[in-house]
Amino acid sequence: MITSSKLFSRSKFTRSLIGKIFYSLFFAAILTSIGGLTILLFQVFSDGLPWLSLDLLWNYPSRHPEQAGLKSSLMGTLWLMGLTGIFTIPVGLGAAIYLEEYAVKSKLTTIIEVNISNLAGVPSIVYGLLGLALFVQWMALGRSLLAGALTMSLLILPIVILASREAIRAVPLTYRDAAYALGATQWQVIKNVVLPLASPGILTGIILGMSRAIGETAPVIAISALVYMTFIPSSPMDRFTVLPIQIYNWVSRPQDEFRGLAAGGIIILLVVLLSMNTIAVYIRNKYQMRSND
Amino acid sequence: MQERYKNRSKIGGKIVKWIFFSCALVSILTTIGIIFSLLLQAWGFFSEVSVFEFLSGTRWTPILKPRSYGVLPLVSGTLLVTVIAALVALPIGLATAIFLSEYAADKIRRIVKPILEILAGVPTVVYGYFALTFITPTLQDWLFPDMLVFNAMSAGIVMGLMIVPMVSSLSEDAMISVPKSLREGAYALGATRVEVALKIVVPAALSGIVASFILGISRAIGETMLVTIAAGATPRMTFNPLESIQTMTAYIVQLSLGETPHGSLEYNTIFAVGLLLFAITLVMNILGQFVVTKWGVRY
Amino acid sequence: MTDQFADKHVLEAEAVNVWYGNFHALRDVGMKIKENKVTALIGPSGCGKSTFLRCFNRMNDLIPGARMQGGISFYGNDIYDKDTDSTEIRSKIGMVFQKPNPFPKSIYENVAFGLKINGYTGNLDEAVERSLVRSALWDEVKDRLRKSAQTLSGGQQQRLCIARALAVEPEVILMDEPASALDPIATLAIEQLIRELSQSVTILIVTHNMQQAARVSDETAFLMVDDNRAGYLVEHGVTDQIFTEPKDERTEAYITGRFS
């Protein structure tokens, strides 16, 4: 038995101290995030709650803060989300179905997949510029809801595709096998077996994509270029503005009252987002197929 | 018997497949569209202003006379905010990931992870509001009385908070995929938890961690509303974070809201800047993916 | 009888019970491990051999929900004592795992790791060489110490892990089926190494391979599972005796292959 323990300076105290110091640093990092979020929410709510009222929801924006409201931007948001959904849901779902059910491993498929993940990292303002050049100018749609919706659907396409793919992938092979064994065609299997079972996950993906779209400001500014609007849109070719843009408009004004209005608008935006995400998580937890079932 | 299967036609199946295929192609068309539209409109700009002048000029006054089209002030503004954001987000994000991966019990994870997801989901206008109405006055009152209302530091700090979730979750994924057997080997030699985390796990997960840094920085570069609201509209080449600057993204917003006519040189500047922005973030995203695939170790 | 008094006991387990959550994994195991001898733990799968092994270097502490009752002493000192630091225990009682787990570092760095964290003040290069010599790997790697450990074969990686464990000069090495992931030739090399090392280090080895236990160990302990899937000790004695004249009929049944 060799005893050269004299050569090991185990310095129990130092090592334990170092361990404790690092632990506090790591823990402090967590506290910073939690603290940051808490302060942010507290700030927003304390500034904005006094301004929450039905007037805020029903009035048009105005130079007078007491009379200003979100009517035009809320309607604009609703319009935009509706139209965006019309484009994004079929295309996103279709792409996901193709990639999961039909595509074989090939160069083209790899290009498509790499492409989708690259698109997820493109700054949103660049999508706005794309929409500006392609939809507003070249397709001559003008600065309309339609142009905005097409742009937004391209923006959230990667999110919807990714979530739908995961949902489709989670459907166990055995169900497909059973259907094929009964003589079903590929499309019949997809339509009658895969999609119904994957629909909670797909729905979750759509909701998450839409909730991202609701908060997006930059691309909409590039398309609509409208910040002060005192009417509500009545057709997809109309001009429009959305809730985050109105918030931005109010934040940019120096008067304190407009800051408060902005905070009020933020509260409404956060409440909408929270509800959407809660619904999405609820659907995911309650209905989602676990792939190891 | 035949009638039951009347609707099954091979052609129908093929049509369906091609419909879905074209949906998948939309993504490729999008990329092509982005590159094409940016290039086309930027071409209009570069036919009047040389690429060299654009990339090396240090004065950006495309609207005011005398006109100058050097984009470096915008780039430096973006850089300044991004560096501050990185100084905040990278250490905090990595520390958060280490805590979640190596220390945290299930109960703590179940609280912290949703909070991080909420942080990631807050719209950037809200962050801009926070930077302008809380961070700036607080910093002005307590630390920097000379700080301007619109400044790079407040925007940078809040931007850092905003990208912590991204850095943290990507780093955490990388660290969690380090196999338990490596940790056990280190513990069996008498290593403390900190030593295992910093000397074994972090080095083993380094490629994923670096990738998370790169992607986080890329996100910061492309961020728009936070800097538009809080960092200012003054293109200026400075390293002083207490001053107002303008980022590339904020400039695009500013001009979009203006009254510049289509097709004019001023109008085309947003595409030139947009092209530069797209190129920078594309390179960073590709770099991030490259770091993981070429450098990463599969366990 | 005089032999037994001459051999010192390095480790003593007394009425050891282990629970994983509500699952009672190990029931009332008591054993004395002799110094500088190889003791083998054999038994059917699921009988808690590895669990028992991991009690000796407090590796079960790392498993959330694991609970131990009973006593384990190392040269008479309770290793589960509140004031005893588990990291210190582990530098005196080392471990080699079933699947070789070298760090994704160079060969040199792997062996040096334990030395560095335990604050070795001597010559690092010499210590690394000494350990690699002791684990019969030095000749094969002396020219490529800076190469990554992943470039070694399975058998070499395991000998590297043994060198890594030896570097911090432990009194005991715990081995959890160290050769089960290796080919027969590499296995033989490991078994030879174990016999050589036991002259200076106490070795406690878990193995599911009875022939290996017979070849390699001085003493053998046989564990089994009861009806509640808890492991318990059936018999412990000199290897020769266990394999030729087992005292318990269950031991005999296992050894003659009536169940595995």
Is residue C24 pLDDT above 80, yes or no? yes
Do B30 and B126 lie in one domain? The reply is no
CA dist B131 and A116 (Å) reads 32
Scanning C91-110 for CB atoms below 8 A from A yields 91
**Cβ contacts of A26 within 8 Å, gap of 6 or more:** B95, B96, B98, B99, B103
Tell me the sheet residues that pair with B92: none
- How far separated are the first and last CA of chain A, in Å rounded? 54
Q: State the SS3 of chain B.
A: CHHHHCCCCHHHHHHHHHHHHHHHHHHHHHHHHHHHHHHHHHHHHHCCCCHHHHHHCCCEECCCCCCEECCHHHHHHHHHHHHHHHHHHHHHHHHHHHHHHHHCCHHHHHHHHHHHHHHHHCCHHHHHHHHHHHHHHHHHHHCCCCCCCCCHHHHHHHHHHHHHHHHHHHHHHHHHCCCHHHHHHHHHCCCCHHHHHHHHHHHHCHHHHHHHHHHHHHHHHHCCHHHHHHCCCCCCCCCCCCCCCCCHHHHHHHHHCCCCCCCCHHHHHHHHHHHHHHHHHHHHHHHHHHHHHHHCCCC
Asked if the C-beta of B279 comes within 8 angstroms of chain A's C-beta atoms, the answer is no
A3 to chain C, closest Cα gap in Å: 8
Choose among A7, A153, A59: nearest CA to B29: A153
Q: Do B187 and C161 touch (CB under 8 A)?
A: no
CA distance C194 to C201: 9
Q: Which chain C residue has its CA at the smallest distance from A1's CA?
A: C200
Kindly report the nearest CA distance between residue C200 and chain A, in angstroms.
5
Residue C3 clears pLDDT 80, i.e. is over it: no
For residue B293, the model assigns a pLDDT of 85
Contact call for C113 and B186, based on CB within 8 A = yes
Same domain, B236 and B153: yes
Which of chain A's residues have a Cβ under 8 Å away from the Cβ of B218? 121
CB contact A13 to C (< 8 Å): no
Indicate the pairing of strand C66-74 with strand C231-238: unpaired
Residue of A nearest to B198 (CA): A22
Residue of A nearest to B116 (CA): A33
CA dist., res. C47 & res. C25, Å (int): 8
Total domains present in chain B: 2
Residues of C in contact with B182 (CB under 8 A): 101, 103-104
* pLDDT given for residue A292 in this prediction: 41
Residues B185, C114: C-beta atoms closer than 8 Å: no
Which pLDDT band holds residue C6 (cuts at 50, 70, 90)? low
Terminal C-alpha separation, chain B: 55
CATH number at residue A194: 1.10.3720.10
Q: Which residues 33-52 of chain A have a CB within 8 Å of chain C?
A: none
Confidence check: pLDDT of C240 > 60: yes
Q: Which of A46-55, A210-219, B6-15 has the lowest mean pLDDT?
A: B6-15
Whether residue C85 and residue A12 make contact (CB cut-off 8 A), yes or no, is yes
Mean pLDDT score, A44-66: 84
Residue of A nearest to B130 (CA): A40
Residues B40 and B71 placed together within one structural domain of the fold: no
Q: Are B17 and A137 inside 8 Å of each other by CB?
A: no
Q: Nearest CA to CA, how far is C90 from chain B (Å)?
A: 5
Confidence of residue C5 (pLDDT cuts 50, 70, 90): low
Question: B61-103, pLDDT tens digit by residue?
Answer: 888 888 889 999 999 999 999 999 999 999 999 999 999 999 9
Flag whether A11 is in a domain. no
Confidence band, pLDDT 50/70/90 cuts, at residue B104: confident
What residues of chain C lie within 8 A of the CB of A9, using their CB?
A: 119-121
Within-domain flag for B55: no
Give the tens place of pLDDT for each residue, A126-173.
999 999 999 998 898 989 999 999 999 999 999 999 999 999 998 888
Q: Per the structure, how many domains does chain A have?
A: 1
**What average pLDDT does range C125-135 have in this prediction?**
95
| B95/B164 same-domain check | yes
A40 domain residue, yes or no: no
The answer as to whether B94 is a domain residue is yes
- Bridge pairing between strands C77-78 and B60-61: unpaired
B22 shares its domain with B111: no
The more confidently predicted of residues B215 and C3 is B215
Do B237 and B72 contact (CB within 8 A), yes or no? yes
Give the residue with greater pLDDT, A87 vs B258: A87
In the predicted structure, residue C194 carries a pLDDT above the cut 90? yes
pLDDT band at A291 (very low <50, low <70, confident <90, very high): very low
Q: Assess whether B41 and B185 both reside in one domain.
A: no
Q: What is the DSSP string of chain C?
A: -HHHHHSPEEEEEEEEEEEETTEEEEEEEEEEEETTSEEEEE-STTSSHHHHHHHTTTGGGGSTTEEEEEEEEETTEETT-TTS-HHHHHHHEEEE-SS----SSBHHHHHHHHHHHTTB-S-HHHHHHHHHHHTT-HHHHTT-TTSBGGGS-HHHHHHHHHHHHHHT--SEEEEESTTTTS-HHHHHHHHHHHHHHTTTSEEEEE-S-HHHHHHH-SEEEEEEE-TTS-EEEEEEEEHHHHHHS-SSHHHHHHHTTS--
What is the pTM for the complete model shown? 0.88
The answer to whether the CB of B128 falls within 8 A of the CB of A248 is yes
| Higher pLDDT, residue B181 or A68 | B181
Of the candidates C87, C95, C114, which has its C-beta nearest B192's C-beta?
A: C87
The overall average pLDDT reported for chain C is: 92
Closest partner residue to B184 (CB to CB) among C88, C101, C117 is C101
Lowest mean pLDDT among A55-64, B71-80, B233-242: A55-64
What distance in Å separates residue C24's CA from the closest CA in chain B?
Answer: 23
Mutate to test the interface with C, among B189, B195, B201, B202 (most CBs of C within 10 A): B189
Note whether B8 contacts A122, CB cutoff 8 Å: no
Contacts of B184 in chain C (CB under 8 A): 59, 62, 95, 97, 101
What distance, in Å, lies between the first and last C-alpha atoms of chain C? 33
Average pLDDT, chain B: 90
pLDDT the model gives residue A244: 94
The amino acid sitting at A223 is I
Domain assignment of residue B266, given as a range:
60-295
Instruction: Kindly report, residue by residue over B189-222, the tens digit of the pLDDT.
Output: 999 999 999 999 999 999 999 999 999 999 999 9
Q: Is residue A2 part of a domain?
A: no
A244 within a domain of the structure (yes/no): yes
In chain C, the residue whose alpha carbon lies closest to the alpha carbon of B184 is C59
Q: CA nearest A134 in B: which residue?
A: B37
Whole-angstrom distance, CA of residue A139 vs CA of residue A124: 21
* Residues B42 and B135 reside in one and the same domain: no
In a domain, B186, yes or no: yes
Query: Does B89 lie in the same domain as B235?
Result: yes
- Asked if the model's pLDDT at residue A290 lies above 80, the reply is no
> With an 8 Å Cβ cutoff, is B203 touching chain C?
yes
Predicted local distance difference test score (pLDDT) of residue A177 = 87
Find the residue in B nearest to A19 (Cα): B194
Do B159 and B206 share a domain, yes or no? Answer: yes
Co-location of B38 and B130 in the same domain: no
Taking CA–CA distances from C158, the nearest residue in chain B reads B185
Is A37 domain-assigned? no
Tell whether A10 is within 8 A of chain C (Cβ).
yes
Asked if C169 lies within 8 A of A9 by C-beta distance, the reply is no
| Chain A residues touching C35 at Cβ < 8 A | 1
Q: What is the pLDDT of residue A288?
A: 62
> Residues B160, B24: one domain?
no
Residue numbers of the domain that contains A177: 54-292
What does the pLDDT look like over A63-108, one tens digit per residue? Answer: 887 778 888 899 999 999 999 999 999 999 999 999 998 888 889 8
CATH code for the domain of B259: 1.10.3720.10
Residues 50-109 of B with CB under 8 A from C: 105-106
Query: What is the structure's pLDDT at C4?
Result: 52
Of A32, A122, A132, the CB nearest to B92: A32
Identify whether B149 is part of a domain. Answer: yes
In whole numbers, what is the pLDDT of chain A averaged over residues?
Answer: 88
Let me know if residue B72 belongs to a domain: yes
Asked if C178 and C205 touch (Cβ cutoff 8 Å), the reply is yes
Task: Reply yes or no on whether the pLDDT at C1 is more than 50.
Answer: no
User: What is the pLDDT confidence band of residue A230, given thresholds at 50, 70 and 90?
Assistant: confident
- Residues in B touching C163 (Cβ below 8 Å): none
Give yes or no for residue B10 having a pLDDT over 80: no
Against chain A, the chains showing at least 3 CB pairs within 8 Å are B, C
Q: By C-alpha distance, which of B205, B154, B196, B155 is closest to B176?
A: B205
pLDDT in tens, C57-106: 999 998 888 999 999 999 999 999 888 888 889 999 999 999 999 999 99
CA atoms within 13 A on the CB side of B154: 33
Neighbours of chain B (3+ CB pairs under 8 A): A, C
By Cβ distance, the residue of B30, B133, B222 closest to A47 is: B133
pLDDT at residue B78 in the model: 96
Average pLDDT over residues A250-273: 91
CA nearest neighbour of C217 among C34, C4, C32: C34
Nearest to C10 by CA among C56, C55, C43: C56
Give tens-digit pLDDT for B122-170. Answer: 999 999 999 999 999 999 999 988 889 999 999 999 999 999 999 999 9
Among C35, C88, C120, the residue with its CB nearest the CB of A12 is C88
Structure-token pair, residue C254: 């296992």
Residues B179 and B283 in one domain: yes
Burial of B90 (0-12, 13-18, 19+ CB in 10 A): buried
Residues of chain C that touch chain B, judged by Cβ-Cβ distance less than 8 Å: 57, 59, 62, 64, 87-91, 94-95, 97, 99, 101-105, 113-114, 117-118, 161, 164-165, 168
> In the structure, what pLDDT confidence band is assigned to residue A5 with cuts at 50, 70 and 90?
low
> Which amino acid, B230?
A
The chains found to touch C (3+ Cβ pairs under 8 angstroms) are: A, B
A48 close to A38: Cβ distance less than 8 angstroms: no
B220 touches chain A (CB under 8 A): no
